[in-house]
């Protein structure tokens, strides 16, 4: 394995296992479609015991604020929203606690562990995806609409790489977390993990995800323009190249035509009309957010979308969908808290981080699962952090 960027010492098998499990319950169909209501409860108990045995924090002020704030929100929803679910509220609190306990257990090893696990997942996906598209052979057991071998899923009849996640758009989001987590050390990331970075990039390309391509291009061009020690002329050239590249991608059928059709559809939607594409769902979400803009409409589909609730299951814009669930202030606080937790990077980099997360959420419901919530609690080493501090964490 490549040398670590962070001076964190050896990553144990148990730490790899915890990270892998956190990723699985945040996007692997074998877990998220499991016929059990106790998956998150079991995960909470498991992580709680492991953190207690390792002397890790079981709660802190930051998590307590989020937990109490969430409970207050759910009480207000119970009073003012027509249909609520106490079970769904408890389920969310369990996911939030999993996010905290995962970050607590891994400490400063979080991002390095995540990087290495994602490189493995991407490498496995490229092997089986190549076999799948060249031979038509499917691997594993049938789960919902997938063939799955845990580390790799193929959607029945699909021609894009989903990795071990529920769809290609989800896979790209988990890949994009890598450069986001290393946004203060991108040069070191490339220097120490060249082969891993290439694997991640190829895997991202095979998703053929519109959101993934836009997020990837936006992140790197914005990062170069903001942080690159280059002349204004060269920055202008890079900006011109990015604009030309974006126009080119827009003109390709799988990107430009898709976005244009969704935009036109959203513009022409009639009141009460239903659609699953992301721009149209954004329009539907905004229509329903107006009913309870400050406290949201909760987790029940019928509460969020009225009589069309059962038809909107699986539809998604994860950004406006989260506002529909939690309300605008709650999501505003999420991004404020995320911004404050990124104290290891300059303000401009934090804004880029937030912008990319918003882009990713527009593609998928990542906030339905624990891993993206862990961004609120994760510890990221600074460039010159003292190794003794890391090793005590």
User: Is the CB of residue 281 less than 8 Å from the CB of residue 316?
Assistant: yes
pLDDT at residue 255, rounded to an integer? 47
Report which DSSP code applies to 149.
-
Residues 6+ apart with CB under 8 A from 325: 296, 297, 298, 299, 304
Residues of the chain with pLDDT under 50: 1, 253-256, 258-259, 262-269, 271-272, 384-393
pLDDT at residue 105, rounded to an integer? 96
pLDDT at residue 393, rounded to an integer? 45
The pTM of the full predicted model, rounded to 2 decimals, is 0.86
């Amino acid at each position: 394995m490549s040398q670590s960027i962070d001076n964190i010492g050896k990553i144990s098998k148990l730490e790899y296992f915890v990270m892998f499990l956190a990723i699985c319950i945040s996007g692997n169909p074998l877990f998220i479609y499991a016929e059990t209501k106790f998956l998150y409860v079991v995960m909470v108990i498991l992580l709680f015991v492991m953190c207690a045995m390792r002397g890790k924090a079981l709660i802190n002020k930051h998590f307590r604020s989020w937990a109490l704030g969430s409970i207050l929100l759910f009480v207000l929803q119970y009073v003012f929203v027509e249909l609520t679910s106490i079970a769904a509220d408890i389920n969310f609190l369990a996911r939030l606690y999993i996010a905290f306990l995962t970050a607590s257990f891994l400490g400063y090893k979080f991002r390095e562990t995540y990087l290495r696990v994602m490189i493995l997942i991407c490498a496995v996906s490229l092997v089986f995806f190549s076999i799948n598209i060249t031979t038509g052979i499917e691997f594993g057991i049938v789960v919902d609409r997938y063939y799955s071998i845990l580390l790799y899923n193929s959607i029945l009849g699909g021609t894009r790489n989903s990795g071990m996640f529920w769809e290609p758009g989800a896979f790209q989001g988990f890949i994009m977390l890598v450069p986001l987590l290393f946004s203060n050390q991108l040069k070191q990331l490339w220097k120490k993990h060249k082969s891993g970075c290439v694997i991640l990039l190829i895997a991202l390309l095979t998703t053929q995800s519109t959101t993934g391509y836009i997020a990837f291009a936006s992140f790197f061009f914005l990062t170069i323009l903001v942080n690159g020690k280059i002349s204004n002329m060269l920055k202008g050239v890079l900006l011109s190249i990015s604009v030309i590249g974006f126009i080119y991608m827009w003109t390709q059928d799988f990107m430009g035509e898709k976005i244009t059709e969704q935009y036109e559809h959203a513009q022409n939607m009639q009141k009460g009309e239903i659609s699953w594409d992301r721009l149209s769902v954004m329009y539907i979400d905004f229509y329903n957010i107006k009913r309870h803009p400050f406290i949201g409409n909760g987790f029940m589909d019928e509460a969020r979308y009225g009589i069309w609730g059962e038809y909107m299951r699986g539809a998604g814009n994860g950004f406006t969908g989260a506002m529909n669930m939690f309300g605008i202030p709650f999501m505003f606080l999420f991004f404020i808290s995320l911004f404050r937790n990124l104290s290891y990077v300059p303000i401009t980099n934090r804004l880029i981080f937030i912008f990319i997360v918003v882009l990713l959420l527009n593609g998928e419901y990542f906030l339905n699962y624990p891993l993206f919530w862990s961004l609120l609690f994760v510890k990221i080493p600074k460039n010159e952090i003292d190794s003794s501090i890391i090793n005590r964490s």
